[in-house]
């Protein structure tokens, strides 16, 4: 869940907000290891600051959907607008500024996908037994979606048509 926000909101906060505000509902919506990886990536971005579960701990989506014990991770990102645009005035997009953070945003997304693939692989490694024989699932990845497809489930679905 990603949003952008002005870097200074004196009506609500004193001073400038960190540039990358990651929220996991204080760890309730995301695996601690993944949250640590994401924070490490965000903290390594030159010229930018980052915090985990600071002022933005996660909104409804993060709190409602995040269930790390079930392998469902939810993280909120509040990115300061000054990281990629002129936030004072006409909100002009600044390509040069945005280009400096784009590789890091990709790294954040890649870390989430890597974590998802590891969780899926761990589940696949446990496999399951069907009719007394071991059955390994196919790991299917489409963009950000990762799922296991069990051959017997496909066969049952195809047979029921």
Residue 143 pLDDT class (50, 70, 90 cuts) = low
Distance in angstroms (rounded) separating the CA atoms of residues 101 and 48: 9
pTM: 0.78
Q: Would you mind telling me the total number of residues written for the chain in this entry? A: 161
Look up residue 32 and give its two tokens. Answer: 């601690």
Please tell me the predicted confidence (pLDDT) of residue 88.
86
Q: Is the pLDDT of residue 161 over 50?
A: no
């Amino acid at each position: 869940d990603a949003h952008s926000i002005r870097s200074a909101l004196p009506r609500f906060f004193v001073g400038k907000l960190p540039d990358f505000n990651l929220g996991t509902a204080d760890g309730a919506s995301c695996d601690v290891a993944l949250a640590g990886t994401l924070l490490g990536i965000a903290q390594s971005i030159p010229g930018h600051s980052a915090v985990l579960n600071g002022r933005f701990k996660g909104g409804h989506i993060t709190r409602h959907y995040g269930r790390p014990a079930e392998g469902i991770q939810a993280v909120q990102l509040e990115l300061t607008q000054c990281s990629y645009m002129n936030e004072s005035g006409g909100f002009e997009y600044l390509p040069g500024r945005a280009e400096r953070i784009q590789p890091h945003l990709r790294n954040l997304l890649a870390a989430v996908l890597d974590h998802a693939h590891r969780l899926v692989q761990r589940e696949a490694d446990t496999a399951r037994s069907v009719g007394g024989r071991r059955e390994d699932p196919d790991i299917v990845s489409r963009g950000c979606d990762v799922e296991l497809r069990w051959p017997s489930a496909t066969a049952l679905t195809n047979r029921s048509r």
